[in-house]
A and B are shown apart, each in its own frame.
Chain A
Amino acid sequence: MIGRTGGDRSAKRSDPLAPSKAMRRFIYIALIVVGSFYVLPFVLAVVTSFKSLPDFAAHASSLGFDRSQGSPTLDGLRGLDSDRILFARWTFNSVVVTVCVVGGRVMLSALAGYSLARIKFPGYRLVFGVILAVMMVPAIVLAIPRFILLKELGLINTYAGLILPLMFDAFGIFLMKQFMEQIPIELEEAAAIDGASRFRTFTKVILPVARPAVITLAILSTVGAWNEFLHPLIAVNRNELRTLPVGLAQLRGQFGSSTPWHTIMMASVLMTIPMAIIYFVFQRHFKEGMAGAVKG
């Protein structure tokens, strides 16, 4: 504040928070060092996926290719279709599961969030309390009852078993409730005066207004469902029904000393690409989701 009165230039010179030159240099260097720690593993993964196995055995740490060992090569890519590695099938399963889980989650969370925000039904507090409590329960504690339910309903080794339990998401309900409470009630009253039913009001008035929250939830759920590991691990045990993370994780130990690391790295990189694209396109929503979590 002080010194800001004397015109632009002097204000700049006396900005009391401007770091010194040495400090700026330190910050740039620190960021470049830290940044390379975050990039390097991915670069190495990409490079490894194009190495031949002998090249990998000889130079696991190298960021270049050894031509005398036959690198770069597409061997890693070819390995994705073998009797143990069903990459195309796992990808198909992951896509089906992710699409269904996200659709179901958004619908259920929006409906539940709306009723918690607007309809103060009897036992409202209890229901909301239970939802908050479920957010705190470790996934592994939920794994056993989920397994029991799937078993009793005969849903082990089915798509329904992979999808249905993941549709209910306490965080999603919480996020939608928080957002919908901030929508002015007058909007709904106006719709009611025009003779719209409650459900019509919800689909025609509330949902369009809540679009930002719906998009945020859809994106966070996409990443969550795509990367989900524990549930698909216990819900299916047939290789052709596995999703990408489960299919990949159980490969280790199946090959002994001849593990096809180039193929495993290729698969890891390929399954990361869709999430990378979503992340780069919708970055803003990740921050908003985080902000929502902090306010809660």
Chain B
Amino acid sequence: MPILLTLWVSFRDWTGIGSPFDSEFTGIDNYRELLVDPGIRRKDFAISIRNTFYYVIIVVPAQTVLAMFLAFLVNQRFLRGRGAFRTLLYFPSVTSSIAITLIWLVLFFPSGIVNRVLPIDTINWFDEPNGVIHNVAGVFGVDSAPSWARQEVFELSMWEWLSGPSVAMFAIMLLAIWTTSGTMMLIFLGGLQNINPEIEEAAAVDGASWWKRFRYVVVPLLRPQVYLTVTLGVIGTWQVFDQVYAANQGGPQKTTLTPAFLVYSQAFKNSKAGLAAATATILFVIILTFTWIQRRVTGRSDEAA
């Protein structure tokens, strides 16, 4: 029902101010503005997709691997104070996303602790629009777009598509990885505790090192948990909103703009609620597609194992 309402609004030119029932039916105009007609709306949409795509493909694997590693550490039988460590690692998950983001801003201040600890020049993290991949390319002397990358595809040049996440977005990614890995660690802990120790003992008696046991015995048995965390991760990361709002509202230079934030600003700042509904619908389709692809991929490796 709410989805149908969103769909209905996405075919109208509702501004969000009057009643949507007085607005005019405009067919697929909103979708055309986002996907077909060249211009600022399509460009904003393209930028938000690029930013969030990098966000998803980096944050999801990183938080899953980190969560698995943390669960492995905390699950050791010899460890004293296991409970305390678990409590500690999960704690960011019960903290407000806004409070955490504000704390993060202080950590990443130009004179903040991150800059002090890292052995590099001071970076104004949250004001730095340069792409991370561009920065790395710059180290190798590639400062501007090579000729093959100047071609424009869907509002952005190849060079802009390949920028990687901006430094500002990268700081938000670190935040996301840091907060969610604790939650996902709990999921993995549940999985680890369900594994019958005799299976691992048998492998140990056969002479398998701990790494081999971990890689060939434990990890395959954790497949259901991997599936769950990756699914939750994909769904969650595509919607990233709170952190973007509290940190930079899409800036600097739109490099932390995400589809969810774009929907919000179209609907509630720019009086383009119809357009926002269309953007939200496309975002939903993207999430469904990604979940479906991920399901196929995980399913395949399941058969291989």
* A244 at interface, CB cutoff 8 A: yes
Q: Give residues 83-129 of B contacting A (CB, 8 Å).
A: 85, 87-92, 94-107, 109, 111-113, 115-116
User: Which residues in window 1-33 of A have CB below 8 A to B?
Assistant: 1-2, 16-19, 23-24, 27-28, 30-31
Segment 27-65 of A: residues with Cβ below 8 Å from B = 27-28, 30-31, 34-35, 37-42, 44-45, 48, 57-61
Q: How far is the CA of A256 from the CA of B59 in the complex (A)?
A: 31
The docked-state distance in angstroms from the alpha carbon of A246 to that of B97 is 11
Alpha-carbon distance A71/B291, docked complex (angstroms):
51
| In contact, A19 and B85 (Cβ under 8 angstroms) | no
By DSSP majority rule, is chain A's interface helix, strand, loop, or mixed? helix
Q: Using A140-B264, A291-B190 as known contacts, say yes or no to A223 and B116 having CB atoms under 8 A apart.
A: no
CA distance A59 to B112 in the complex (A): 8
Interface size on A, residues (CB 8 A): 78
Complex contacts, B5 vs chain A, CB 8 Å: 144-145, 148
Q: Which residue of A lies closest to B202 (CB)?
A: A1
Contact between chains at B178 and A145 (CB < 8 Å): no
Is A264 within 8 A of B102, CB to CB? yes
Known: A16-B205, A138-B239, A286-B90. A145 touches B187 (CB 8 A): no
Give the residue of A2, A24, A142, A253 whose beta carbon is less than 8 angstroms from that of B78: A24
Q: Are B98 and A248 in contact (CB under 8 A)?
A: yes
Closest residue to B263 on the A side, CB-wise? Answer: A140
- B235 touching A138 by the CB < 8 A rule? yes
A40–B103 CA distance with the chains assembled, in angstroms: 11
Closest partner residue, chain B, to A291 (CB atom):
B190
B246 within 8 A of A: yes
Q: How far is the CA of A140 from the CA of B280 in the complex (A)?
A: 7
Closest-by-CB residue of B relative to A287 is: B186
Whether A60 touches B112, Cβ cut-off 8 Å, given contacts A18-B78, A137-B2, is yes
**Cβ distance B68 to chain A, nearest Cβ, rounded Å:** 13
A residues 240-296 with Cβ under 8 Å of B? 244-246, 248-249, 252-253, 261, 264-265, 267-269, 271-272, 275-276, 278-280, 283, 286-287, 290-291, 293-294
Answer whether residue A83 sits at the interface, using C-beta atoms and an 8 A cutoff.
Answer: no
Shortest C-beta distance, A278 to chain B (Å), equals 8
Q: Which A residues touch B268, using CB under 8 A?
A: 147, 234
Q: Taking CB as reference atom, which chain A residue is nearest B87?
A: A283
CB distance from B186 to the nearest CB of A (A): 5
Give complex CA distance A35, B79 in Å: 14
User: In this assembly, does B293 line the interface, its C-beta being within 8 Å of a C-beta of chain A?
Assistant: no
Residue interface bits B183-219, CB-to-A below 8 A is 1, else 0: 1001100110000011011101100001000000000
B228 within 8 A of A: yes
A67 at the interface (CB under 8 A from B): no
A245 touches B102 (CB 8 A): no
A30, chain B: closest CB distance, angstroms: 6
B49 within 8 Å of A (CB atoms): no
B106 & A265 in contact (Cβ 8 Å cutoff): yes
Report the count of interface residues on B (CB-CB < 8 A): 85
Closest-by-CB residue of B relative to A139 is: B239
Is residue A151 contacting chain B, with contact meaning CB distance below 8 A? yes
Select which of B249, B280, B291 is within 8 A of A144 by beta carbon.
B280
Whether the Cβ atoms of A272 and B204 lie closer than 8 Å is: no
A230 at the interface (CB under 8 A from B): yes
* B3 partner residues in chain A, CB cutoff 8 A: 137, 141, 145
Task: Please give, as numbers and ranges, the residues of chain A lying within 8 Å of B197 by CB-CB distance.
Answer: 17
Is A148 within 8 A of B9, CB to CB? yes
B283 adjacent to A138 (CB under 8 Å): yes
Chain B residues in 8 Å Cβ range of A275: 94-96
In the complex, how many angstroms separate the beta carbon of A111 from the nearest chain B beta carbon? Answer: 19
* Nearest CB of chain A from residue B79's CB, rounded to whole Å: 7
**Contact at A227–B96, with CB atoms within 8 Å?**
yes
Contact between chains at A138 and B99 (CB < 8 Å): no
A141 engages B90 (CB within 8 Å)? no
Q: What are 13 A-to-B residue pairs whose CB atoms are below 8 Å?
A: A1-B202, A17-B197, A136-B291, A138-B280, A141-B281, A142-B2, A143-B280, A145-B2, A229-B245, A234-B268, A252-B102, A265-B106, A278-B94
Given contacts A27-B73, A145-B6, 17 further A-B contacts (CB under 8 A): A37-B178, A44-B107, A58-B111, A60-B113, A137-B3, A138-B260, A142-B2, A143-B263, A144-B263, A144-B276, A148-B20, A227-B95, A233-B264, A268-B102, A272-B96, A280-B87, A293-B187
The residues of A with any CB-CB pair to B shorter than 8 Å are 1-2, 16-19, 23-24, 27-28, 30-31, 34-35, 37-42, 44-45, 48, 57-61, 134, 136-148, 151-152, 223, 226-227, 229-230, 233-234, 244-246, 248-249, 252-253, 261, 264-265, 267-269, 271-272, 275-276, 278-280, 283, 286-287, 290-291, 293-294
Interface set of B (CB-CB < 8 Å, partner A): 1-3, 5-6, 9, 16, 19-20, 70, 73-74, 76-79, 85, 87-92, 94-107, 109, 111-113, 115-116, 178, 182-183, 186-187, 190-191, 197-198, 200-202, 204-205, 210, 224-225, 228, 235, 238-239, 241-242, 245-246, 249, 259-260, 263-264, 267-268, 273, 276-277, 280-281, 283-284, 287-288, 291
